[in-house]
Amino acid sequence: MSEPEEQQQPDIHTTAGKLADLKRRIDEATHAGSARAVEKQHAKGKLTARERIELLLDEGSFVELDEFARHRSTHFGLDKNRPYGDGVVTGYGTVDGRPVAVFSQDFTVFGGALGEVYGQKIVKVMDFALKTGCPVIGINDSGGARIQEGVASLGAYGEIFRRNTHASGVIPQISLVVGPCAGGAVYSPAITDFTVMVDQTSHMFITGPDVIKTVTGEDVGFEELGGARTHNATSGVAHHMAGDEKDAIEYIKQLLSYLPSNNLSEPPAFPEEADLEVTDEDRELDTIVPDSANQPYDMHAVIEHVLDDAEFFETQPLYAPNIVTGFGRVEGRPVGIVANQPMQFAGCLDIKASEKAARFVRTCDAFNVPVLTFVDVPGFLPGVDQEHDGIIRRGAKLIYAYAEATVPLITVITRKAFGGAYDVMGSKHLGADLNLAWPTAQIAVMGAQGAVNILHRRTLAEAEAAGEDLEAVRARLIQEYEDTLLNPYVAAERGYVDAVILPSDTRRHVVRGLRQLRTKRESLPPKKHGNIPL
């Protein structure tokens, strides 16, 4: 070592020297990645681990943990490269003044590869979040397991998965994927409550394109295999596709504003008493449902008319668009929204829609968020593929989710509610607290066309044999069926619907219902856990 370099080393035998040595070590930990690695990260349009934390947390609120942690491995030359932090930044801080815990994987150090100490740091901050009852946000940007550390890396993944599972339903867990997330690493985001990915930057897959090519011969690129669009639109693994990292972080901040810190606290509220006078905007709902039952309308418009300031925060908008899920506020208090979308597949329930809605209802129930359901569903999507892929078992998840929910449940039937799908969509029979229907509601076993073909098969055959106008007879029978059964009043007579209301009165009824249900207390039979049809 040259003399000038020796002179730069602080004298650690003095107090001043020890303080200077600490500052040097902090600086070394803060700049663990080389300047070249940071430059490459920025060239890809990506931020560094610390830059992401700065964007996420309130200014000056971050408190780092285990800043000086280093790996202990001596294999494959690792003993000569022991950077502080070991490739992940962990700690806690605040978002909008509310405590959160965070870990941020650092791709500029060992490509973000997870080793034993790295894993211990993540486990430690997750345990800290669970003990203090605050959300944990994981920022994923990693090449996978650190091969040089062997099975210790795999063990660390297992410890993380166990923490994810134990924290599930206790504290909100949010995953932000801003780079590669491959192999076993993908299962941590999969267990968490919400996953956010960045278009063209994020990739998640169990086996990469090269392995797939070798084993199956399939030729597929990173983006098609596990890009943000794939997991947002096709697999349903992710909940939001952001344009860039800043957009992703803003989404997470907004998401946190609808969730409590833990399962024993209430979601953040900004109470503001609603004016219950019916407005011209409310009256727009009186004409939103078309006269023809086969004509669609946008359920988003209905949702926005009921929520404060028409603000709807949608989750998984690209996946199973035939059902809409998301958050909003009523009188400043968060609510979860589940709604059939007549603009997509006529609002039919299929496998993807059932699973999407079931997971969302369970998330709301875990975190004390009331669920508001809007129903316009002609039934389950028919098809051989749906049956063979398990719509019976997988559709049952939605029944299970509603039936086990103990948060306030309000259901509004706007038009169709046919067959088993009527039961599944937050019906009175599954335990909903307040069931409302518009005069346009059609609550029945099936639609008029199918019902007439079954009920009047003989009448239609006789009419055809007698040379009568078959279509005229069919039209008359359909009209009779519609007049008799395709309305909300048969259900209202039996108490399956608590009230038939004008569409323009919907917000007023929802506001009053939620006020009354704030003191709702309901408990389920004691059990170790239920056996949801997974």
Catalytically active residues are 183-184, 420-421
Q: Which of 355, 350, 52 is nearest to 174 (CA)?
A: 52
- Whether 329 and 308 have beta carbons less than 8 Å apart is answered as yes
Query: How far is Cα of residue 52 from the mean position of the Cα atoms in its chain?
Result: 21
Q: Which of 382, 269, 255 is nearest to 325 (CA)?
A: 255
Distance CA 227, CA 230 (A): 5
**CB within 8 Å of 470: residues ≥ 6 apart:** 460, 463, 464
Positive or negative CA dihedral for 157, 163, 168, 173?
negative
Q: Which of 58, 68, 65, 195 is nearest to 122 (CA)?
A: 65
The DSSP output letter for 114 is: B
Q: Label residue 517 exposed, middle or buried (CB < 10 Å: 0-12, 13-18, 19+).
A: middle
Distance CA 243, CA 198 (A): 6
Q: Which residue has 């890009």 as its token pair?
A: 227
Q: Which residue has 């992940």 as its token pair?
A: 88
Counting DSSP H helices and E strands in the chain, the numbers are 22, 17
Identify the helix (H) or strand (E) that includes residue 215.
helix 209-216
Q: Label residue 534 exposed, middle or buried (CB < 10 Å: 0-12, 13-18, 19+).
A: exposed
The dihedrals phi and psi of 93, each to the nearest 5 degrees, come to -175, -155
Distance CA 301, CA 290 (A): 14
Pairing mode, strands 323-330 and 88-95: unpaired
